A and B are shown apart, each in its own frame.
Chain A
Amino acid sequence: MALLDIFRGKLLDPTLYPGVHARGDVITTTVDAVVKWGRKSSIWPMPFGTACCAIEFMAMTASHYDIARFGAEVLRFSPRQADLMFVAGTIVDKEGPILRTIYDQMPEPKWVISMGVCASSGGFYRSYHVMQGIDEIVPVDVYVPGCPPAPESLIAAVMKIQERIKNGEQAKRPQGEHRVGAPGDGFIDRRARRAAWAKDDTDRAQQGLPPRGVLQLRVLPTEPDHEHHG
């Protein structure tokens, strides 16, 4: 019986439950919708704030921007009591294992917002100690660009997370795990990229198309005696 499924722990992971897209019946889909509504309206964030973004995060929790409107003012510094982790600030290689540990300690379902460019891609720290994006080690649901993102951007990110909760989506694998340890700067292997572009150019040429991104220039005929004077 679907209602009893709650007690068997089946309904509590939105990714397992079919929801409105599969063959759930009226009672289960309603329960599911209610659970999701409750979940998205009372997100308990865990602020993994390290740098400047943490200050803007604090500004978002303060009275002017007031994340309490979204029911998310209960900041929990213990991951075991939180469901949304804000990674706010640069994560350096030293902090990496700690970030992963904290992520693992969060109970399901859990989401991650990568706040700011440093967390999303290393920012402008293309250097020897900075992780070039937290998605090397944790799965990220929403990336927020900005350095730091204004609190409005962050609230938009929270709303995106609410969308994801409603749709039952959740990031599972770190999106950048093939890039772990990628160098920050100095030698970026553009050769592979250029080889791919060259191949794309030749493929398009075979189809009779011009290469991507190239404007066809009209070269005016040059008449040697036609210089006009200013």
Chain B
Amino acid sequence: MASATEAPPVAGLDSPAARLLREQLGDRVKGVDDFRGDLAITVAREAWVEAATLLRNHPDLDFKLFLDLCGVDYLEEREDRYETVLHAYSVSKKHHVRLKTTLPERDPRLDTLTAVYKGANWFEREAWDLYGIKFDGHPNLTRILTHDAFVGHPMRKDYPVGKRHVLKSAKEWLLTRTPDPEHTVVNIGPSHPAMHGTFRVQAVLDGETIADCEAEIGYMHRNFEKMAEVRTYWQIIPYTDRLNYCSSFMNGHGWTLAVEKLLGISSPPRAHAVMVILSEFSRIMDHFVCIGTNIVDLGAITPFFYLFRVREEIYELLEACCGARLTVSYVRIGGLANDVPADFTDRCRALIKSVAKYTDECDRLLTRNAIFANRFKDVGALSADDALSYGWVGPCLRGSGVAYDIRKDHPYSGYEQYDFDVPVGTVGDCYDRYLVRLEEIRQSLRIIEQALAKLPDGPVIVDDKRVALPPKEEVYSNIEALMNHFKLVYEGILAPPGEVYGYTEAANGELGYYIVSDGKKYPWRVKVRPPCFNIYQAFPQMIKGGSLADAVAIIGGLNIIAGELDR
């Protein structure tokens, strides 16, 4: 089974997807590539929808899970300036595919994929917003991340990095349909206790029921991807921390694995084991925040205090390892910045006991609580088909009954050695998502225990001078190490030209990094595949017909983190 970081056994050029597309499209398939094991098929733009439909519907391919759609600007490097890239996954066949098409500078139009994948809607709006790629047939091709007074398409290579446009007043109307004059229009957020500061929903209320609604995002659009084009691979690590900041170590873990895939190297085993342990603790932290803040939104404050108390203990572990609590920047390309403290194993074992205790407390407080059950059961259910079409992943997808966990299906960092279960829900309502998260915490504790028992000795960073900094004693005492240090810092790691998609199971699901490298010190393009973006896209649909109170219950349980949603 292909892992997220190793080449699959089957040569990509002969894979079923390539074969079937060639059969169907003939010479409209412009190229097939499998750099580092990623199958990438370029088709002519006239065949875009046809190719995507074939990929999704053909029984041998079954790429039902929509992952990502983005634009890339090659400026003058290639004949056609823009590229649109689609990533999809098949849960049944367990393989990924990348479908690309090129668009000329003068006429960057493409047919919309909203009929094929529901999730393509917001992604195409983003490609329009940031690149100016027009999608014919899109129901609402308007800006999604940048504000309405923004001029230009900022991710284009000729757009200056720091050129801002000031917004004088917020957009008043979000709704696309005129509401019934009998109904009330209510604006929820972005400054709202339940909206976590950065989401906005305009709802048309018929009494307590939401008759229609429209969501607006982009209130945390911090331009990670534009920053990534002017930073070296190391310098991007702190930016990744701030994607899903509740479990920031996991973002770095995913980033370093993706870059290692591009470079064709691997961290040493000890680094992988420590990364697994800290990632699982971060997952636990994230689930605690999710449950805690969800409950606070509903009015119950006690679990919030309990869960944040145990988060402090996990913070102490992270602080002992690397000095920071929340945004850790502990990973480096090729491993970790430094080794864990001497009492790491003891700390972790004590922490496991503590977390288990607090999890049980939380369980006792909530799971069989009548009010909690009433507010969460049969609220916000999304069917498995819809979830896959939107691109749901992680606990939300598993709550809807689809058993997809990258740690099991494409293990990385040694997850295949650990014995753990993946909880899967049945109905897909808020209660299921809560139970999945609670059980995942317990399974994470299992993984951590096994990883601690098997923790290997050795270095924590790869022994490659082109990637890892030399030790400081060397840097100060001989010229070779000094030059090495200088070159790595001001030039950084030089990745070979090519593109990869590296993915890991973050707290919210599949966090992917699509990295395009041109061989120079800055990556050419970095696209973050944000699980929250796909998940939140379904939110307006989920709350229609429900009550306003249900909307509050639902949004907390989806664990939408703005840093990841808007990047």
Contacts and interface: CB of A to CB of B under 8 A. Distances in A.
Contact of A52 (B165, B193, B245, B311): B245
Contacts of B223: 125, 127-130
A51 B563 contact: yes
A59 B562 contact: no
B218 A59 contact: no
B190 interface: yes
B146 A94 contact: yes
A54 B170 CA distance: 22
Interface string A175-198: 000001111111100000000000
A107 to B, nearest CB: 16
Contacts of A94: 146-147, 167, 170, 218-219, 221
Interface stretch (A7-15, A96-104, A216-224): A96-104
Interface in A62-97: 62-64, 77, 89-90, 92-97
Nearest to B244: A52
A48 B221 CA distance: 16
Given A52-B326, A56-B326, A93-B167, A62 B162 contact: no
Interface string B53-88: 000000000000000000000000000000000000
A93 B198 contact: no
A52 B327 contact: yes
A100 B196 CA distance: 18
Contacts of B238: 124
B220 A51 contact: yes
Nearest to B145: A129
A186 B226 CA distance: 12
Nearest to B222: A125
Interface string B161-197: 1111111111000000000000000000011110011
A186 B162 contact: yes
B483 to A, nearest CB: 20
B227 A63 contact: no
A182 B248 CA distance: 30
Given A94-B147, A129-B221, A148-B327, A102 B191 contact: yes
Contacts of B191: 48, 77, 98-99, 102
Contacts of B154: 128-129
Contacts of B385: none
B164 A150 contact: no
Interface string A28-72: 000000000000000000001111101110110011100000000
Contact of B162 (A64, A101, A185): A185
B372 interface: no
B35 interface: no
A64 B220 contact: no
B478 to A, nearest CB: 14
Contact of B242 (A51, A97, A184): A51
Q: Which interface class (under 10, 10 to 19, 20 to 34, 35 or more) fits A?
A: 35 or more
A182 B161 contact: no
A91 B531 CA distance: 22
B454 interface: no
B418 interface: no
A98 B170 contact: yes
A62 B309 contact: yes
Contacts, number: 155
Contacts of B226: 127-128
B308 interface: yes
Contacts of B486: none
B227 A58 contact: no
Contact of A125 (B163, B227, B311, B562): B227
Contacts of A51: 197-198, 220, 222, 242, 245, 562-563
Which of B150, B168, B219, B230 has the largest count of A CB atoms less than 10 A from its CB? B219
A93 B163 CA distance: 12
Nearest to B165: A93
Contacts of A102: 191
Contacts of B218: 92, 94
Interface string A101-140: 1100000000000000000000011111110000000000
B57 to A, nearest CB: 38
B197 A89 contact: yes
A172 B516 CA distance: 48
B245 A77 contact: no
**How would you classify the secondary structure of chain B's contact residues: helix, strand, loop or mixed?**
loop
Nearest to A90: B222
A164 B312 CA distance: 30
Interface in B132-177: 145-147, 150, 154, 159-170
Nearest to A65: B312
A55 B242 CA distance: 12
Which of A49, A90, A187 has the largest count of B CB atoms less than 10 A from its CB? A90
B219 A95 contact: yes
A110 to B, nearest CB: 15
A51 B244 CA distance: 9
Contacts of A185: 161-162, 230
A97 B169 contact: yes
A155 interface: no
B442 interface: no
A157 interface: no
A58 B221 CA distance: 22
Contacts of A183: 160, 162-164
Interface string B194-224: 0011100000000000000000001111110
B197 A93 contact: no
Nearest to A50: B197
B420 interface: no
Contacts of A96: 166-167
A102 B195 CA distance: 15
B312 A128 contact: no
Contacts of A59: 308, 311-312, 315
A55 B562 CA distance: 12
Interface in B298-327: 304-305, 308-309, 311-312, 315, 325-327
A52 B178 CA distance: 37
Contact of A180 (B166, B169, B245): B166
B308 A184 contact: no
Which of B163, B191, B223, B238 has the largest count of A CB atoms less than 10 A from its CB? B191
Contacts of A64: 308-309, 312
Given A50-B219, A51-B242, A128 B163 contact: yes
A130 B197 CA distance: 16
B168 to A, nearest CB: 7
A49 B562 CA distance: 11
A48 B197 contact: yes
Contacts of A98: 170, 190-191, 219
20 contacts: A51-B222, A51-B245, A51-B563, A52-B563, A55-B289, A64-B312, A93-B150, A93-B167, A94-B146, A95-B220, A126-B161, A126-B162, A127-B223, A128-B146, A128-B226, A183-B160, A183-B164, A184-B162, A184-B164, A186-B163
Given A124-B227, A128-B165, A129-B221, 13 more contacts: A49-B197, A62-B308, A62-B311, A89-B197, A90-B220, A92-B218, A93-B147, A93-B167, A98-B219, A126-B161, A129-B146, A148-B326, A181-B164
